[in-house]
Structure 1
Amino acid sequence: MGNRDKLLEGALQCLYEKGFAHTTARDIATAAGVSLAAIGYHFGTTEALLNAALIRAMENWGEELDLALNDERDAALPPAERFVAVWTRVIDSVTANRPLWTTQFELVTQIGHHPERALQWNEAQDEAQFGLAELFHGIDADEEPELARIVGGLYQALLTGVVVQHIVSPGVAMSGRDLITALREVARRLGGEGSDLQKSV
């Protein structure tokens, strides 16, 4: 492994262990086992190295999320059981890969200061929404783009909230069963108010 790859791996390790705000150039060089000067030689600045590491972290997170969301065995399950199975895997992933998931939320706090990261994040979010709509309800984004956007957006919001719960307060966080029970109850209550809802829209 060359020094450039060592620096990327060292920066990624620091991001997972220390977080973005507390990672220094010296931390990265020490973790990578190379000199401080190597950062300037290969990346120009520490910020450029951290940007590259954050992109790598986002890619790693995307791969982990894809594994959690997709399992060929789900196809044989009824929709409700598939829902629970997917969410159970997501929650297990958060538990097993806590630094990876935590880093994504720190990345979100940095996006406003870096337009290039915002563009990458927005593209990833669009793909995620369409993918979630397809996964849970078979909604084709090419045929029904707006429906895929809003249904996928709901699942994306659920995903964000559930992950935060399991990072911050795992003892009281929602399980897959809790989620489907709550959604069914919300749907039941909204269904009972259908006429009122339609009048107000």
Structure 2
Amino acid sequence: MSPQRSNRAQLIEGTLRCLERLPPERITARAIAAESGANLASITYHFGSKDNLITEAVIEGLDRWLADISRRLTGLAGSSPAARFRRAAEIMESSRDEHTGLAHNFLSALAKAHHDPRVRTLLAAGYHRTRPTLASVLDLGSDQPGTDAAGLVLALFHGLLFQSLLDPSLTISGPRMHHAQTRLLRVLPDTDE
């Protein structure tokens, strides 16, 4: 591996560690450089700015979180999509606390995306990559409706995650999640495709 790639990877890893333990406003370029063992100027060299680095690290962290959920679902191969969904929701809930910093910074990146085309492009690329991956993990299918269903699942998971960041009592998990799903399926009209 070339020194440049290694330094870039070091910066991502250092930023991920900062995301785990620091609130967004305390993640400075100096903190990232110190945590990663990289030169402060290498942030601009590799990423253009600290914000771009944080956004790329957030996306990497979210990809890793999804990969962890996927690994933990491997024992459910052949089970129904509903069972896989329930288990994925349980895994996400049980691992939420270890990813709170990541979630806060993801929310911050979403807010910046409106004004920063590079951040918007990075986040959109992450969603384009994640939707088919999640569709596969949940066995929703590899066609457009499967990818769209994965988009709805992401919206549900992210929305619940963001609500729980505001107030943990807003968390909906376990039996409450199951009952809420059942209620939605009962009251939403069935439509033909």
TM range (shorter): 0.7 to 0.9
Partners of 1:22 and 1:96 in 2: CA distance: 18
| Displacement of 1:32 | 5.0
Gaps of 5+ in 1: none
Q: Paired residue for 1:168?
A: 166
2:82 to 71, 80, 83: 80
Which stretch of structure 1 is more off in the superposition, 70-79 or 92-101?
Answer: 70-79
| Displacement of 1:90 | 0.9
Q: TM-score, normalised by structure 1?
A: 0.72
Q: TM-score, normalised by structure 2?
A: 0.75
Q: 1:137 to 1:185 in 2, by over 3 A?
A: farther
| Displacement of 1:151 | 1.7
Secondary structure (helix, strand or coil) at the match of 2:141 reads coil
Question: What per-residue deviation string (whole Å, max 9, x for no partner) do you get for residues 94-136 of structure 1?
Answer: 1233222322222212222331221121122123223333443
Q: Paired residue for 1:98?
A: 100
Q: 1:80 to 1:108 in 2, by over 3 A?
A: same
Partners of 1:173 and 1:85 in 2: CA distance: 16
Say whether the 8 Å CA contact 1:11–1:49 is kept in structure 2. Answer: no
- RMSD over aligned CA atoms reads 3.2
Say whether the 8 Å CA contact 1:80–1:180 is kept in structure 2. Answer: no
Letter in 2 for 1:82: R
Letter in 1 for 2:27: T
Structure 1 segment 145-156 matched on structure 2, within 5 A: 145=144, 147-156=145-154
| Displacement of 1:189 | 1.9
Q: Give % identity.
A: 22
Gaps of 5+ in 2: none
1:58 aligns with 2:59: yes
Secondary structure (helix, strand or coil) at the match of 1:138 reads coil
Which stretch of structure 1 is more off in the superposition, 105-114 or 128-137?
Answer: 128-137
| Displacement of 1:155 | 0.9
Q: Paired residue for 1:130?
A: 132
Q: 1:47 to 1:11 in 2, by over 3 A?
A: farther
Rg bigger for which structure?
Answer: 1
Letter in 2 for 1:65: L
Q: 1:157 to 1:181 in 2, by over 3 A?
A: same
Letter in 2 for 1:18: L
Partners of 1:39 and 1:159 in 2: CA distance: 35
Q: 1:47 to 1:113 in 2, by over 3 A?
A: farther
Secondary structure (helix, strand or coil) at the match of 1:97 reads helix
| Displacement of 1:137 | 4.7
Which stretch of structure 1 is more off in the superposition, 20-29 or 160-169?
Answer: 20-29
Q: How many residues align?
A: 186
Letter in 2 for 1:136: L
